[in-house]
Structure 1
Amino acid sequence: MKIGIVDLDTSHPNAWVPILREMGHEVTAVFDGGTVHDAGAAGAFAEKHGIPVVCDRLADMPELVDVAIVHSVNWDLHAERARPFAEAGKAILIDKPMAGNARDIRQLLAWARGGVRIAGGSALRFCEEAEAWRRSRDTGDQVVTALAGCSVDDFNYGIHAYGLLLAIMGPGIESVRSAGAHIQHQVELVWRDGRRAFLSIGETAGYLPFYATIVSEREVRHIQVDADRLYRSFLAAALPDLAGESTTLSPFPPLGELLEAELAALAARRSLLEGGRAVALEEAAVSSEPGYDGAAFAAQYRMKARGLTR
């Protein structure tokens, strides 16, 4: 496929371009909106990676590509950045978190219902360690519960813990309840079939790896994810689906299942603000609340990228 890169805010574009090429895809165009970098960043990136076209306007890119990869660190820009591609019927891969409010989630789902191929979210949803656990387990050995977590923050990094938990437990989250915070935020998630699992996310004194402990009827298994292998696993899972090549033998989750991670995070935020009441995902999906503030996060990210502090 011909791929366009939208926004260069994070380390992901530099890391992903070589993987995309190794997989046989062309990276044909790049655009940067200036959220983190100054003018000229797209040109320098294109020269470094041998990308033939730098788009000064995002509207010029859809005709040049088959799929756009949206890397904006401000997740509140994701739907806006995706719009010209959705309207042109092009496939879209949206880096994590895909959206920080229910309004944008509803827009992404509406485009998908209209036939636009959209994928994205946390690479942890497709990590090799969770896949190896699924292959190795006895299908009759039912999961009792699981605990997953990571550090740094509740949403931009915390979404990875939601993704890892969904990789283990599968989709079907019914409700989410904040159990409060002690150093980190602890969250209980309940599935429609009655299963429960837990998250511990947020800032800690040191960096914590992505991890999960799975309790089944017959064993306890601990997973610690190798972050160096995440990108390739994610792209290998998502790109065939965006190309229309996903099969019944290796089905890719529909967008609604992928977005359970973001909806669960929104429900956890609301539960924490409202004293720990259980919040149904259906309630979170129709909410008009502002959700997680992508612009504020992006402003902090820009300052850190420049070695500045407030």
Structure 2
Amino acid sequence: MRVGFVGTENSHVKHFIRLLNLEDRHPGHRAVALAGGRSEHNIKLAEYGGLDVIVEEPTDLLGHVDAAIVCNRDGGLHRSAAEPLLRAGLPVLVDKPLATTIEDAAALLDVAQDSGSTLVSASALRFVPEISQFTTDHAEHGPLRHVHVVGPADPDSEYAGLFFYGIHHVETACEILGNPVLRPGDLRVQASREGDTVWASTTIGRTVVTFTFVVPQDDGRVPFHATAIHTRGVIASELSLGPDYNAPALDSFVEAAQAGQPTLSAEQLLSPVVVLTAINEALEGAR
């Protein structure tokens, strides 16, 4: 499988190239092409990974690659980058977030379904080892009643505000809750902002879900952390991202592309965008 990349300004692209070409984590799969033109950055990336092709536009990848990874830091660009590739039938991994509007996310999912292409998108926090200790029903602690996720995110980020990092919080909660299907209008959200911190709360099923988004500072940032409160106990853990934090997403993509079947359903992929959109709307209404 020949893999091409869009949104090469994202450091994740270099990670994926390392995993594919330098470390050969997936024999028979190779990074071969970059979109975005012959910038100094792209030339260095190509030299780093031994890539042969640099093109201008995402559509120029067609004919050069068998699959694509879209990594734009601004998730608002993901639809325009991924849609023509999906329409052509290519498997596509869209780095978080899938999109920054429900309309764009739904459009990508519709195109993937119509063309029979495989669309994968996931926060790296879905795969961290600590996530496995969280469950909706715990043998010792009982049913889950409250999930709280903390982490860095800036509502004023130039990369679509809370969607840039806040999608990590939301996908973590969705993973803990078993990836429920949520549709526009399903959620009632309360949100507020005080200086560098945003709080949001909602209820998903029978579980209260709260989020704390803290703006990263020059001297550091709050770590990602999750707390699950059950009827008879509490589980809490920092969520650590190691140097290979992009590897599980790549593993999932390769597996899904080979099987022709995404890991999550279209409705499950849309749900985090539904949640974060509702949070943004509540935050806007609170001003």
Q: TM class, shorter-chain normalised?
A: 0.7 to 0.9
- Could you tell me which amino acid in structure 1 is paired with residue 5 of structure 2? I
Q: Which runs of 5+ in 2 are unaligned?
A: 155-161
User: What is the alpha-carbon distance in structure 1 between the residues aligned to residue 214 and residue 269 of structure 2?
Assistant: 21
TM-score, normalized by length of structure 1?
0.78
User: What is the alpha-carbon distance in structure 2 between the residues aligned to residue 135 and residue 197 of structure 1?
Assistant: 12
Number of the residue aligned with 1:31 = 35
Residue of structure 1 aligned with 2:278, choices 243, 259, 267: 267
User: What is the alpha-carbon distance in structure 1 between the residues aligned to residue 95 and residue 48 of structure 2?
Assistant: 22
Per-residue deviation, 1:264: 0.9
User: What is the alpha-carbon distance in structure 2 between the residues aligned to residue 187 and residue 273 of structure 1?
Assistant: 12
The one-character-per-residue Cα deviations of 1:73-131 (angstroms, maximum 9, x if unpaired) are: 22222111112211211111111122112221121121132122111132212322112
User: What is the alpha-carbon distance in structure 2 between the residues aligned to residue 112 and residue 141 of structure 1?
Assistant: 39
Task: Give the secondary structure class of the aligned counterpart of 2:167.
Answer: helix
The one-character-per-residue Cα deviations of 1:149-175 (angstroms, maximum 9, x if unpaired) are: 101322211111111111111233431
Per-residue deviation, 1:189: 2.5
Number of the residue aligned with 2:250 = 235
CA separation of 1:139 and 1:176: change in aligned 2, threshold 3 A: farther
Q: Is contact 1:112-1:255 (8 Å) kept?
A: no
CA separation of 1:27 and 1:204: change in aligned 2, threshold 3 A: closer
User: What is the alpha-carbon distance in structure 2 between the residues aligned to residue 171 and residue 65 of structure 1?
Assistant: 31
- Could you tell me which amino acid in structure 2 is paired with residue 119 of structure 1? V
Matches within 5 A, 1:156-167: 156-167=164-175
Q: Is contact 1:86-1:111 (8 Å) kept?
A: yes
CA separation of 1:158 and 1:118: change in aligned 2, threshold 3 A: same
Q: Does 1:178 align with 2:190?
A: yes
- Could you tell me which amino acid in structure 1 is paired with residue 271 of structure 2? E
CA separation of 1:226 and 1:71: change in aligned 2, threshold 3 A: same
Q: Is contact 2:153-2:166 (8 Å) kept?
A: yes
User: What is the alpha-carbon distance in structure 2 between the residues aligned to residue 149 and residue 212 of structure 1?
Assistant: 6
User: What is the alpha-carbon distance in structure 1 between the residues aligned to residue 216 and residue 248 of structure 2?
Assistant: 27
Task: Give the secondary structure class of the aligned counterpart of 2:131.
Answer: helix
- Could you tell me which amino acid in structure 2 is paired with residue 23 of structure 1? H
Stretch moving more, 49-58 or 265-274: 49-58
Q: Is contact 1:124-1:164 (8 Å) kept?
A: yes
RMSD of the alignment, in Å?
2.4
Number of the residue aligned with 2:159 = none
Matches within 5 A, 1:1-310: 1-20=1-20, 21-24=24-27, 25-32=29-36, 39-114=39-114, 115-134=116-135, 137-138=138-139, 141-153=142-154, 154-172=162-180, 173=182, 174-182=186-194, 183-191=196-204, 193-203=205-215, 205=217, 206-228=220-242, 229-244=244-259, 252-275=263-286
- Could you tell me which amino acid in structure 1 is paired with residue 255 of structure 2? P
User: What is the alpha-carbon distance in structure 1 between the residues aligned to residue 54 and residue 46 of structure 2?
Assistant: 7
- Could you tell me which amino acid in structure 2 is paired with residue 60 of structure 1? D
Q: Is contact 2:141-2:230 (8 Å) kept?
A: no
User: What is the alpha-carbon distance in structure 2 between the residues aligned to residue 111 and residue 76 of structure 1?
Assistant: 17
Task: Give the secondary structure class of the aligned counterpart of 2:223.
Answer: coil
